[in-house]
Homo-oligomer: A and B are copies of this chain.
């Protein structure tokens, strides 16, 4: 790295830090104070908890180890805002996050200011012997905060959806432009030895690495994600009542939960509606279906005579695509029908996370980060499935073709959809 680059490396992070941190607070600005407190299910965290936790991350992994004389405003925050780092003290029980009225939202914002000031001090003169590690952890902390920006929107949506008053998060969301009718189709790849996993200098999580070879049989991916209209046909065909379409765990789950449609769909006198961050809306048949569990995605694919793509298939397709799309930055905060872009598969990036057929497991030669940060990803490698491509709540500069998201197969409060695959 040359001299110029080093200067940039010294300046840019401060500015990037400022911008990323500002986004989190901007996302909470439309909320009432009361909205910040609710934990609507164990998977959800109160918005003020997110605001505090991402700051705790910087405090615990940057300020306390590297900023001499740093003093926390409240030692108990190290307990309250530790999410799951068991090797870093005892985290406050996740399911009790909604029982904490204090610190208040204002006090959490004060904590953010305090951490921001500490980071500014640290980055102004990082101790030379730790400069590389500090840069690495700062980068990780920024990506961590971006992940929580998406979680904030997922959680806010879930919180507001509990309320019979159907409060909108924002009434001023932009209106999507009309999109032409989609031409269905498939794109095929030949059998062969491919490479997947992160390559190059840019940031990637440990779980995206190492880059490695994988053999794939010939396969094809659908040109478009599955749409609301497609999914409605599955429902109308009795999809939720036909056990032969479902994985056994999925069948048991939908029976127990009484699921008959995607999360946030509601059937009323005026037909199907969807609860969105802009409030209740009529369903757009052409937009990608969203808020499906893996079980539902898998059942839909079986009903359609297809299957879900493996994560390697998806990544091979995405390596050739531009990582652009309907992300957080476009501010729609909802998946949209869009006009086609280029020749390849459409909407691989943005709109909805696409469930893959792949369990979230380590790549060959996977090495977790050292120390407590090794708990970041590796310990979640059981029971979860990989999703790819980002969604309308993901910051655009947070995503890449090699990005591996993961959720349990029953979870559907993320912005989750699917794309069909088949043998070619």
Contact = CB atoms under 8 A, between A and B. Distances in A.
Interface of A: 32-38, 40, 48, 74, 76, 79-80, 84, 86-87, 92, 96, 98-105, 159-160, 162-165, 167, 193, 212-217, 243-244, 246-251, 294-295, 298, 307, 310, 357-359, 361-362, 364-365, 374-375, 379-383, 385, 409, 423
- Secondary structure dominating the interface of A: mixed
Nearest to A92: B164
Nearest to A375: B244
Nearest to A161: B99
Complex copy number for this chain = 4
Contact of A382 (B215, B294, B362, B374): B294
Given A99-B159, A163-B102, A36 B38 contact: no
Contacts of A243: 86-87
Given A32-B104, A243-B87, A248-B379, A193 B164 contact: no
B38 A98 contact: yes
Contacts of A364: 216-217, 310, 423
Contact of A34 (B101, B164, B294): B101
A244 B87 contact: yes
A421 to B, nearest CB: 11
A92 B358 CA distance: 32
B213 A215 contact: yes
B162 A246 contact: no
A361 B358 contact: yes
Contacts of A295: 382
